[in-house]
Amino acid sequence: MPIEIKMPALSPTMEAGKLAKWLVKEGDAVQAGDILAEIETDKATMEFEAVDEGKIAAITVAEGTDGVKVGTVIATLAGEDEDAAPAKAEKPAEEKKPEAAQPKAAAEEPKATAEPEAPKAEAKPVSTTSQTQEGRILASPLAKRLAAEKGVDLSGLTGSGPHGRIVKADIEGAKAGTAKPANDQAASPAAASAPAATPAPAAADKPASVDMAPETRKLLDDRIPHSVEKLSGMRKTIAKRLTESMQQAPHIYLTVDIQLDKLMALRAELNDALKSQNVKLSVNDMLIKALGKALIVVPECNVTFAGNELIRYSRADISVAVSIPGGLITPIVQDADGRSLSSIATATKDLAERAKSGKLLPSEYQGGTASISNMGMMGIKQFTAVINPPQSTILAIGAGEQRPYVIDGALGVATVMSATGSFDHRAVDGADGARLMAAFKEFVEKPLGMLA
């Protein structure tokens, strides 16, 4: 009896997702653990693995289909003693194609009518690459995007990731300007199905083929050259959550100036000691630790407003804002107050790398008790950040710069940064927010206190 493969729930709150790309085709034999598809959630593009073995009998939801509800049957798997029946799968696949291709109807229609020949067209350009498995190139979503931006031909690369998978490092070390038009479709999961027949026209027609909402048409000024693109699931979620945050949580902002010279001197000394362990601390790693310690000293800010209740946390899990292609994600450094600085440095590096390649698990970016956002490395002197719900505290870190500063009662020059805390005034009183900022300043200006 065929086994139904259903749309998985990749996070506790996931209700629907986008089937970004199929990595198998009808008739393919799969083993438990093989990657079947790439599924785009509101925060990341994640790989979906097979849990059973057999042959793909039918694909019932086409790649590129958005809003696929959790539990929907997306494919069927035939067991060892059964025959895969691609012919039966054609009907559901064709019925779904127009729905999946609404933004690109013009580009998708020719492909839908030539469905039986599609596997031959796809197999031809990748048949000689060492990164293929049953006619496909193994590459992470980030690697594909970077390859498209740099003009790198994936078929000419040898992957250094698991099972020969091409990853970000392989693209960064590759020679640019070698992309082949036939492989352009691998650059983005969202556009994977559009350029199969005629890549160049599909790319040119994309803005015009977007089915715009009436509100978009009202805002559009046709006199100005433009393009229109559909919002990704991530961008929709960011817009929704931050709008809710600004509308529902009354923000209060508190700013302090903090001297960094002692922290930077300690960082240099610690990095020298940690060199043999191949660990390098950043200023941000130390600020994460300082915020974690400050939240334990002032637990009134380590809370969540829940309407009729107030949730108080006894551990500081810090969400760190990381910019990724298409949006922002906040991986969590757990137990930031209790961990060593070297452990925080290792964790933040790993989380940031996997965030940018879409490899974070939902548990690694959902939750947290407070957030930190550092734009100082981009030269931003001071800014205010929007609270990351359901948290009540977020710290915005500006650039450290040489400024006139009073040192031991005398005017001198010091490295100073501005830090601004945003607090949910429903849960955090201004005086408690001020105490947190003072504690944070104390830990940064006297950094040995973080190590005690």
Provide the annotated active-site residues. Answer: 425
Q: 3-class DSSP state for residue 434? A: helix
What is the Cα–Cα distance from 94 to 107, expressed in whole angstroms? 15
| Residues forming a β-bridge with 205 | none
Cα distance between residue 107 and residue 194, in whole Å: 6
Pairing of strands 54-59, 29-30: antiparallel
Give dist(CA 324, CA 43) in Å, integer: 10
Q: What is the DSSP letter of 132?
A: B
372-376, long-range: CB < 8 A, 24+ apart: 372/284, 372/287, 372/288, 372/291, 372/318, 372/319, 372/320, 372/321, 372/397, 373/321, 373/397, 374/284, 374/287, 374/321, 375/399, 376/283, 376/400, 376/417
**CA-to-CA distance for 274 and 40, rounded, in angstroms?**
38
Owner of token pair 């601390």: 281
| Strand stretches in 247-296, DSSP E | 251-259
